[in-house]
Amino acid sequence: MTLRLTNAIIGGSRRVLTRTGGILFLVLLVHEALLITSLNTVVTAANPAAMGDVIGLTLPVSGTVAGVLLVGTLVLNAVYFVVLSRAFARPKSQLSSFPADLVTRRIG
C-alpha cells in the first residue's frame, strides 16, 4: 500500500477551497485569536511587572475572566476539530452546507 501524497494534497486543498472550508477557516482564525489573546492576558495578569512590554495582544478584562475564556476556548477547540473532521469526511458535493449531524451525531 502506498501513500499517494499528491492526491491527498490536491484533494484536501479542493475541500478547503469550498464554502464549508472557507467558513471553517474563518472560525479557526477567530478561535486562534481568542486563544492567543486570552492566554496573553492570563500570563500578563500573573506577572504584570515582568511581562509589561514583552507580551503581545491582550484582552481588556481581568486575569480571572481571561482564564475562564481560555478554558472555554480549549473546550471549544475539541468541538471544532470534531466538526472539522466530520465536515471534510463528507463527499465533496455536500460541502456547501452544515447539517446538524456534524455536531449532534454520536460516535458508535
Instruction: For residue range 60-70, list pLDDT tens digits in order.
Output: 888 899 999 99
pLDDT tens digits, 28-57? 999 999 999 998 888 888 877 776 666 778
- Average pLDDT score over the chain: 83
pLDDT of residue 33: 92
CA atoms within 13 A on the CB side of 72: 8
Output b/e per residue, 58-78; b: 16+ Cβ within 10 A: bbeeebeebbebbeebeeeee
> Which three cell numbers, joined as nine digits, stand for 2?
502506498
Tell whether pTM > 0.85. no
pLDDT of residue 52: 61
